[in-house]
Every structure is written in structure tokens, then in C-alpha cells.
């Protein structure tokens, strides 16, 4: 489920309640997700205080009052659930459970494409999972000049390129389609031919992500909603999952194609 806006929404939902909370106990209900849990995860977490929660691309970063940072990725189906007290029974896919001072935190992930691991704060940037990542779209480094240079090197269609996390971190399958719709760029257009539109693309990627974050933020005000029904917010998409429905600009039916194994949606008339 989660692309950058969903991850950011989860981050915002967790930050206020969890900041300053000490971890009283940790329960592991299996030994791995996409990668193994660190063997000493429990002991390195127990007794620590969560000082802040950050984000890089689609990764959540829980900074502790030790040298450790918890790196978490939601994969396709992961979520953090926050409750006032421990649930009576564990859900089928509750893999990591933590009792904090005032809350009970659960990491649930049916498909187990997510991950939770630890890194030393001073080597966070060099951590294997983060080292190759491109800039977060909201960082200055994701500039028109930067994107333009990157696009010039790519011959393939622009849409999968936008999803390359080493280029820019956080754009996934939904918002790649949505950003290209805003920019009026056809998803199949060779990346190097889109270089001229780099400035618009940077702006539109940010615009579409920002709008999604804001719509999420408004429907997710407190922790009850982090743990709440439905989980993720409903954003009104322009093209994603709208095959056959009229383009909101020109009424042309939205088309669906497959690129690099993923579904892509676009307006064949106003995206050139």
C-alpha cells in the first residue's frame, strides 16, 4: 500500500504519541520479515526511549536515546497499529509487538514484504538499505537540474524511471502515474525526451505527493486513526485505477498499460 505519502502519514500519526515513550517490552512473533530481525533486537530496544521519528523515501526511522536507529519499511502491506492497551489476542500477521509507557505498538504485515532492522546512528547514511537511495522528493537535491541530467542518461520509458528509488526516493506505482498526468507527459515517452520538462516534473511530483499527504493528514489526526479501521486514507486519483473512466480534463477514457510488470494509467489524449 504505502508510497511516500502513506509513509509520511504514518510517521505523523506516530510521532506525537510515541515521542518520549520508553519501550518496556518487545515481542517477536517470527524470526524474519523480508529480512531477518536482528538477533539482539529485543535487548537493544528494551528500556530505550523513542526520541523522534524521521523518514527517508519510504523508510521510517525511529531515533532512540541510544546509538541505535530503527529502520522500518512497510513493504506492500505493512502498518503500525497503536493502541492504548495491549490487544487481547494477536492478529494473524502481527509480527512485532512493543509495550511502551502509555501505548501498545504493533507492526502488522500480511505479505511480509516489509522489514524492521537496526542501524547505528552514525552510520545510518552508509547503511546498505539507504546508501544507494536518491534524494527524497522534498529535499533541495531533487532539483530540475539534477533530474534533467538523470533523465538524459535513460533511454527507457519515463514512468518506470520515476519509480527508480536510486533516482528519487518515495515515488511508487500510483504517484508515478499521477505525477505524469499532472505534467501532461505520456508514461511511455523515452526518459531522455522528457528532460526538457524536468522543471515541471519536479514541481508536479512534489505537488501530487504534497496533496496526498495533506489529504491523509486531515483524515488521520490522532493515534486512534493510525490503528483505525481502513488504515490508509482515500485520495482522489486522477488516473490510477480509473481505466475506462473519463479524464477529468478532457473526458477521454483513461487507458491502462503494463510497464516493467506494473500497471500504468494515463490519458491518451492529454498526455503527450
Contact 212, 175 (CB under 8 A): yes
Return the residue of 44, 73, 95, 242 that touches DNA, per CB under 7 A.
Answer: 73
Binds DNA by CB under 7 A, chosen from 29, 34, 184, 206: 34
Cell of 113: 514484504
What is the nearest approach in angstroms of DNA to the Cβ of residue 213? 12
Residue in this structure with the C-alpha cell 482522489, named with its chain if needed? 236
* Residue 79 contacts DNA per CB under 7 A: no
Q: Which of 83, 165, 219, 225 binds DNA (CB under 7 A)?
A: 165
How many residues appear in the chain? Answer: 272
Q: Does residue 58 belong to the site contacting DNA (CB under 7 A)?
A: yes
Answer yes or no whether residue 108 interacts with DNA by CB under 7 A: no
155 counts as binding DNA under rule CB under 7 A:
yes
User: Active-site residue numbers?
Assistant: 2-3, 58, 262
17 in contact with DNA (CB under 7 A): no
Local structure of residue 195 (DSSP, 8 states): G
Burial class of residue 23 in the structure, from the number of CB atoms within 10 Å of its CB (0-12 exposed, 13-18 middle, 19+ buried): buried
Task: Using DSSP, state whether 97 is helix, strand or coil.
Answer: strand
H runs (alpha helix) in the chain: 4-18, 41-45, 128-131, 144-152, 158-162, 173-183, 198-218, 223-226
CB 255 to DNA: min, Å: 13
Interaction of residue 156 with DNA, rule CB under 7 A:
yes
The yes or no reply on residue 148 touching DNA (CB under 7 A) is no
Give the nearer residue to DNA in terms of CB position, either 34 or 207.
34
Q: Are 161 and 191 in contact (CB under 8 A)?
A: yes
Q: In sequence order, which residues have a C-beta less than 8 Å from that of residue 221 and are 6 or more positions away? A: none
Residues that bind DNA (CB under 7 A): 1-3, 6, 34, 57-58, 73, 75-77, 92-93, 110-113, 129, 153-157, 160-161, 163-165, 172-174, 191, 232, 259-263
Amino acid at each position: 500500500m504505502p508510497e511516500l505519502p502513506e509513509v509520511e502519514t504514518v510517521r505523523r500519526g506516530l510521532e506525537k504519541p510515541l515521542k518520549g515513550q520508553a519501550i518496556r517490552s518487545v515481542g517477536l512473533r517470527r524470526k524474519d520479515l523480508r529480512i531477518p530481525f536482528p538477533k539482539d533486537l529485543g535487548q537493544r530496544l528494551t528500556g530505550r526511549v523513542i526520541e523522534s521519528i524521521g523518514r527517508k523515501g519510504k523508510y521510517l526511522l525511529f531515533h532512540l536515546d541510544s546509538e541505535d536507529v530503527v529502520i522500518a519499511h512497510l513493504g506492500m502491506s505493512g502498518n503500525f497499529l497503536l493502541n492504548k492497551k495491549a490487544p487481547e489476542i494477536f492478529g494473524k500477521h502481527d509480527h512485532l509487538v512493543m509495550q511502551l509507557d502509555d501505548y501498545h505498538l504493533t507492526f502488522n504485515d500480511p505479505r511480509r514484504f516489509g522489514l524492521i532492522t537496526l542501524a547505528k546512528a552514525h552510520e545510518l547514511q552508509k547503511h546498505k538499505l539507504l546508501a544507494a537511495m536518491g534524494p527524497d522528493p522534498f529535499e533541495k537535491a531533487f532539483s530540475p537540474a539534477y533530474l534533467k541530467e538523470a533523465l538524459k542518461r535513460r533511454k527507457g520509458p519515463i514512468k518506470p524511471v520515476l519509480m527508480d528509488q536510486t533516482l528519487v526516493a518515495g515515488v511508487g506505482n500510483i504517484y508515478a502515474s499521477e505525477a505524469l498526468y499532472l505534467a501532461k507527459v505520456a508514461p511511455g515517452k523515452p526518459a531522455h525526451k522528457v528532460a526538457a520538462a524536468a522543471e515541471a516534473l519536479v514541481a508536479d511530483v512534489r505537488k501530487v505527493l504534497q496533496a496526498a499527504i495533506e489529504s491523509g493528514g486531515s483524515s488521520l489526526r490522532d493515534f486512534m486513526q493510525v490503528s483505525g479501521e481502513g488504515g490508509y486514507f482515500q485520495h482522489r486519483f486522477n488516473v490510477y485505477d480509473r481505466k475506462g473512466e473519463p479524464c477529468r480534463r478532457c473526458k477521454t477514457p483513461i487507458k491502462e498499460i503494463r510497464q516493467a510488470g506494473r500497471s500504468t494509467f494515463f490519458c491518451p489524449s492529454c498526455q503527450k
